[in-house]
Structure 1
Amino acid sequence: MWRYLVGGVAALLMMAAGWLIFNGEAHSDPSLPVATRQGSAAATTATTADAALPEAPARDREQKRFDRYDKDRDGRVTRDEYLVPRRKAFAKLDTNGDGRLSFDEWAIKTTARFAAADRDRSVAMDAAEFATTAPKRKAARPACRCPTPAAAED
């Protein structure tokens, strides 16, 4: 029973500490004095030129994505507009243009890879032929580009 009591008191103390941390009066004053730029005439000209430059409208990623789909720019994405990328992908796979996707059309890349790897045309790959189908991995780049010891001594 005493364990429940101690646990409850500890939970209350943790909640009180969290409240004090987040609602404490240790906020910094956000109003700092503005630094004035003193210098040559070129610095003054650069400041006025920066003020005259137009600002690009701020658009977020989702708005750009919406605009790519909304082809007729009416502010709505219809079902046909939404399916355009899928139709293009389907058309690339439908090699004979009959509107149906057979298994051979769907697996054309894999079929071509198998045919290229099967060098003796035996319709079966041995271990050496199968090894040529391994995906090409990109070389891992080092996390930092440190100078070589020979270059550092020069």
Structure 2
Amino acid sequence: MTKFLAGAAGMLLLLTAGLFLWIGAEGQDIPIPEAPPPPEQPDPEILPVADPDAETVGPTPPEAYKATREEMRFNRYDRNRDEAITRLEMMSSRTDAFRKLDTDGNNLLTFEEWAISTSERFAGADSDGNGRLTRTEFRTTRPKRSVSRCKC
């Protein structure tokens, strides 16, 4: 008896689903309206033209502040933007470099400490003192790599 009831319920569900599909397919014969025509463009000769000698109105906008290259490098390490780099903000592999840059030893690296050390580094690399680094001079600023041997 339960098999008969289950079969009848299944048959009823199939008929209901077929009915919904049939009604749904019939409703798709609705025509899609055509798009309205584009608006008319005004004649270019009628449009007003600005006088090239006319005075501008209002003050000129101020130029946006452009950070220097050193400030951008400093900002990469200053994660919380408090204008000081802490030891935690520097990568752990760079602690020796941080100690060299932190001249007053307070575990905070200010922009002035950063700029002084990098300008001294530049001056040391600029062997002819002309204020420009050639490719040969620039190669001397590269950090020395330690030779590590694989202990496989």
* TM class, shorter-length: under 0.3
Higher helix residue share: 1
TM-score where L is the length of structure 1: 0.27
TM (norm. structure 2) is: 0.28
Which is greater in Rg?
2
**Structure with larger RCO (C-alpha < 8 A, sep 6+):** 2
